[in-house]
Amino acid sequence: MTSRPQPKHTRKSPQERRAEIVRVAARIALEEGLELITLRRVAQDLEVRPGLIGHYFPAADELLAEAFTHATTEERESLLPPGEADLPPVDRLARFLVGLADGDYLGLSRLWLNARHLSRFKASLRLAVRAQESRTRAALVDLIDEGVRAGEFTTDDSMRTALHTLIAVDGLGSYANDEAPPEELDMRDVAIETAETRLGLPLGTLRARARSAGAAGSAAGRSTPR
């Protein structure tokens, strides 16, 4: 009787295994909520023993904080891609705000809402939330400063403008769990119009730029053979 050859299992490095655990935890956070991240649940999804997860993350709160950081870092890099630094600042700002306003990142809006609530009770998550807020704010300030130097924006206080804009974004995100806006009000453009007003842009500029960029991207995609 001939035995079947056993599949070879590639042993992952500690760095690879840790990154895999964080990715799975981030997915659970986005799809089901931070509360569902437990060592047992992550182990179940990875088909490993909970003890392996505990080896890398002895406390579930630490894993929860890293999962949030991973998801929000990817969000920021998706909304403000480092590879698009050569595009006009107004186009990058349009992509950032219109993407958030139109619900393309609804799962991440819910994650932020979830994290801010839980961070009241979990110190490690609270530190992670503060760190990600600071990095997003700094990225937006840099973008605004670049637009001012290019003559696209007008403001004498980039930090204040970024704060007003992000507070409006957070206000919109507070309704992320609602199926419809309260009283049938369309609040999607509050953050966009806040930025336009603070930056001396005519209302409607950012949506128009986002549409133009989207149309150009679609045309480029159609002309590129797959």
pLDDT in tens, 200-212: 999 999 999 998 8
According to the model, what pLDDT value does residue 181 have? 56
According to the model, what pLDDT value does residue 183 have? 56
**Domain annotation covers residue 23:** no
**Domain annotation covers residue 3:** no
Average pLDDT estimate for 36-50: 94
Take residue 66 and report the two structure tokens written for it: 């890293």
**Which long-range contacts (C-beta less than 8 Å, at least 24 apart) are formed by 204-210?**
205/90, 205/94, 206/90, 206/93, 206/94, 206/97, 206/98, 207/94, 207/98, 209/90, 209/91, 209/94, 210/91, 210/94, 210/95, 210/98
According to the model, what pLDDT value does residue 214 have? 65
Measured between alpha carbons, how far is 63 from 101 in angstroms, rounded to an integer? 29
- Asked if 108 and 30 touch (Cβ cutoff 8 Å), the reply is yes
The pTM (predicted TM-score) of the whole model is 0.83
Full domain range(s) for residue 211: 68-223
- Asked if 213 and 91 touch (Cβ cutoff 8 Å), the reply is yes
Q: What is the pLDDT of residues 183-198, one digit of tens each?
A: 555 678 899 999 999 9
**Domain annotation covers residue 173:** yes
**Domain annotation covers residue 122:** yes
Q: Is 40 left (phi over 0), alpha (psi -120 to 50) or beta?
A: alpha
Q: What is the pLDDT of residues 74-125, one digit of tens each?
A: 988 999 998 888 999 999 999 999 988 887 888 888 999 999 999 999 999 9
- Average the pLDDT over each of 41-50, 52-61, 125-134, 167-176 and give the range with the smallest value: 167-176
**Domain annotation covers residue 2:** no
The share of the chain scoring above pLDDT 90, in percent, equals: 69
Q: What is the CATH number of the domain that holds 154?
A: 1.10.357.10
CA atoms 87, 139, 116, 30: torsion sign: positive
**Domain annotation covers residue 90:** yes
Q: What is the number of alpha carbons within 13 Å of residue 106 lying toward its C-beta?
A: 11
Average pLDDT estimate for 1-17: 66
Measured between alpha carbons, how far is 72 from 92 in angstroms, rounded to an integer? 18
Q: Which amino acid is at 216?
A: A
**Domain annotation covers residue 155:** yes
According to the model, what pLDDT value does residue 7 have? 45
- What is the number of structural domains in the chain? 1
**C-alpha dihedral (74, 77, 207, 225), degrees to nearest 10:** -90
